[in-house]
Amino acid sequence: MSKLAEFKALEAQLAEQLRRLDALKNDDRLKKEIEFERKLRVLMAEYGMDLGNIKTQLAPLATPSNSAAKEGQGQRRERKMKVYLNPHTDETVETRGGNHKQLKAWKEEHGAAEVESWLQG
């Protein structure tokens, strides 16, 4: 690309960004957010708090146990760790699901039933 073409392309991008910036400056939602942030920072300074303190204090309010878990829609339980020991090579695979690359290779080579018999404990 020639320098002139590059210059014109950058100039057009700059003009577009300036247009978007002007549109944002006149956006009422942005003005409200700026005002909220200003008031929040004043309040934080008044009480000697920072964002870390506020997150820590508000964290219990954001836990899913307050609403979703009570309705039975919480996170599902964690899968149990399964350990497979290959008797031919003494390799072990620890997995919580059946989508493990090495486990799939073993099942393809030795058959799923045999590999399942390698399950430890």
For 49-84, write each residue's pLDDT tens digit. Answer: 998 888 888 887 766 655 555 555 678 888 888 999
Q: CB of 75 within 8 A of CB of 64?
A: yes
- C-beta contacts of 109-115 below 8 A and 24+ residues apart: 115/84
**Are 31 and 57 found together in one domain?**
yes
Question: Does the structure show a pLDDT above 70 at 104?
Answer: yes
The residue among 9, 103, 97 whose CA lies nearest residue 17 is 9
**Are 41 and 91 found together in one domain?**
no
Domain total in the chain: 2
Residue 90 structural domain: 82-116
Domain assignment present for 24: yes
Domain assignment present for 112: yes
pTM confidence score? 0.40
Domain assignment present for 77: no
Domain assignment present for 54: yes
pLDDT range class, residue 44, cuts 50, 70, 90: very high
- The CA distance from 107 to 93, in Å, is 12
pLDDT at 1: 75
**Are 10 and 60 found together in one domain?**
yes
